[in-house]
Amino acid sequence: MKYILFISLLPLFFSCNNSPNKPQSNIPESKITFDMDTIHINRISVGDSITVVFRYKNSGEAPLKVINVAGSCSCTIPYHDSTPINPGKTGFIRVQYKNAADTSAIFKVVVVETNQTSAPLHSIYLVTN
């Protein structure tokens, strides 16, 4: 009998806490917003390279810092400035693509790591038309 009573009251213990486990805070956060997250380029000849610029804005309320950028392969070389970007200001990430031997369509990914706590990783793309 005690076992049945315990089982019947068990859902009550787990249903009492309806609030999420995430603490709520009013701490200002940075937020990166890209003008375009994908840049389309024409195919380039083997041995050539092209450099494109991804512009972004800090649409948050705290300084934004780009911590790291990484290309999907050695032919995709990103450059960034590690200087914090104040709210409302803009910055850029320059990406150089070196076509060593590829004559097919490309789809290159650059992963951008920021100090944005809610979503620190962002992807930008370089693709051929």
The confidence score (pLDDT) of residue 16 equals 52
pLDDT tens digit sequence for 25-74 = 688 999 999 999 999 999 888 889 999 999 999 999 999 999 999 999 89
Copy the structure tokens of residue 123: 């992807």
CA nearest to 113, candidates 127, 99, 123, 100:
123
Residue 24 is encoded by which pair of tokens?
Answer: 């709520």
111 pLDDT higher than 60: yes
Q: Tell which wins on pLDDT, 63 or 105.
A: 63
The long-range contacts involving 6-14, CB below 8 angstroms and separated by at least 24 positions, are none
pLDDT of 91: 97
Residue (of 10, 34, 63, 45) closest to 125 by Cα position: 34
Which CATH architecture describes the domain 27-128? Sandwich (2.60)
Quote the CA–CA distance of 54 and 65 in Å, as a whole number.
15
Mean pLDDT of 12-25: 51
Predicted TM-score of the model (pTM): 0.77
**Averaged pLDDT for residues 100-114:** 88
Residue 66: CB atoms within 10 Å = 23
